[in-house]
Amino acid sequence: MQIPNYGQRGDVSINMTPMIDVVFLLIIFFLVSSHLAKQEANVKLDLPVAKTGIDNSLDRPQLTLNILEDGSWMVAGQWTSRDRFREIARQRLTTENGILRVKIRIARSQPYAKLAEALKLLNEEKIGDIVFGVYESRGGT
């Protein structure tokens, strides 16, 4: 009978190939899932174009309000009434200790009255850090 020799430790080797395979698949999984999560927060909208836009640094807590083509409001993928948005903004302002940036993403075709309505609400809630979502201007368009 052949007796297995377990005493030889020097022969043990780690096969790297399946480990790299698995690690790589995990990286892809997390990249894709985070990408999809971002897409969910950012509803597809035809935003205005600007030349002086800057990159969103996300250096402070941010609440994104989407004003869609039909004039309805959406926050984090959920249809939101004006009163509900006011409530959300108040809650976030409390939890973030008064530091909150509100990003307004509005469809470019919407009349200014729709933007003014949101601005007025934020003004009433004493939120002054407001930014507008815009697309980068391409070649002066």
Partner 1 sequence: MKAVYHRDNSRRPDVMMTPMIDVVFLLLVFFLATASFDRVEQILPSGAVESAQQPAAGGTATPTEPKATDVDEIVVRLAMNGTSMEIFLNDQSLSTPEELLARLSALIKIRQDVPVIIDPVPELPTERVIEIYDQIRGVGFTSLYLTTQ
Residue 28 interacts with partner 1 (CB under 8 A): yes or no? yes
The number of C-alpha atoms within 13 Å of 49 and in the hemisphere containing its C-beta is: 6
- Candidate residues 31, 37, 76, 99; the one interacting with partner 1 per rule CB under 8 A: 31
Query: Among 97, 107, 114, which residue's Cα sits nearest to residue 68?
Result: 107
Query: Among 102, 95, 107, 96, which residue's Cα sits nearest to residue 127?
Result: 102
Q: Which is nearer to partner 1, 29 or 79 (CB)?
A: 29
Residue 86 interacts with partner 1 (CB under 8 A): yes or no? no
Q: Candidates 3-11, 26-34, 81-89, 91-99: pick the segment binding partner 1 (CB under 8 A).
A: 26-34
Distance (Å, whole) CA 14 – CA 115: 60
- DSSP letter assigned to residue 110: S
Task: Give contact residues for partner 1 (rule: CB under 8 A).
Answer: 17, 21, 24-25, 27-28, 31-32, 35, 42, 47-56, 103, 106-117, 119-120, 122-123, 128, 130-136
